[in-house]
Amino acid sequence: MAVSSKGDLSFLPLGDRALLLEAGNTADPETVSRVRALADYLAQLHLPGVLDLVPALCTIGIHYDPEQWRDGSAARSPYELLVERIRTALPDPATLVSSEGHAREIPVCYEADCAADLPALARKLGLSRSQVIDIHSAVEYSVYMIGFAPGFAYLGPLDARLVLPRRKTPRTRVPAGSVAIANQYSGIYPGELPGGWHLIGRTPLRLFDPSRTQPSLLKAGDRVRFSPIDAAKFRRLQSEAQ
């Protein structure tokens, strides 16, 4: 498989209509920020035939029309020609700065009906229920990426005291708005979905609504703080959001 690189960037083909730009192999804040900056820069280039840019934790998927990248000979493939164009167009990744996201406050009910896994999770971590809530809601998270499902935001970094692997047995149905943690991330289920993360709360906000101009409430680069609310306020806000 052909692989090209520029500095610590690597390029890999994904079939004949997409390629993968790898900016690192560890999903740390620095790498995530570099990916976002690279995606912003590539978007501004308006390269011909590039149909979509899909930033993830350490990579960017670049979907393109190969017919736009043929030079009339069989010497080089559309993939090779596009990679060459990207490599020559990109400056040193260290000089790129990612765009500033929005600050978002997400109300979360951590009470029993909204937090199915909170009691067991607290016991496993050697913490009280209130300590888990305090730790989870005390910091500002970055939206690393949107993935798994439309509007599902991977938030980090999660406090090391709350890090646990995913549940051994995933649920077939997780309620929309469920706030969950797994490994080094926190996340919010945008709809009723299957999932294996630990459920510690629920927000009344609609994370994804295709009727909105911007369907996803959160986007990569946004900053998120969780604000604890009681069950009564949860029900009121949930009613208003419908």
> What is the pLDDT at residue 93?
75
Q: Identify the segments of the chain with pLDDT beneath 50.
A: 1-7
Tokens of residue 114, six digits: 């909204």
Distance CA 207, CA 124 (A): 29
> What is the pLDDT at residue 5?
41
> What is the pLDDT at residue 2?
40
Please provide the CATH number assigned to the domain covering 103-241: 2.40.100.10
Instruction: Tell me whether strands 18-22 and 59-64 are parallel, antiparallel or unpaired.
Output: antiparallel
> What is the pLDDT at residue 28?
83
Intrachain domains 4-95 and 103-241 with the same fold: no
> What is the pLDDT at residue 3?
38
Cis peptide before 157 (omega within 30 of 0): yes
> What is the pLDDT at residue 6?
45
216 neighbors 146 (Cβ within 8 angstroms): yes
Domain ranges of the chain: 4-95, 103-241
13 neighbors 2 (Cβ within 8 angstroms): yes
Dihedrals phi, psi of 85, to nearest 5 degrees: -65, -45
Please provide the CATH number assigned to the domain covering 4-95: 3.30.1360.40
221 neighbors 143 (Cβ within 8 angstroms): yes
**CB within 8 Å of 44: residues ≥ 6 apart:** none
The predicted model scores a pTM of 0.84
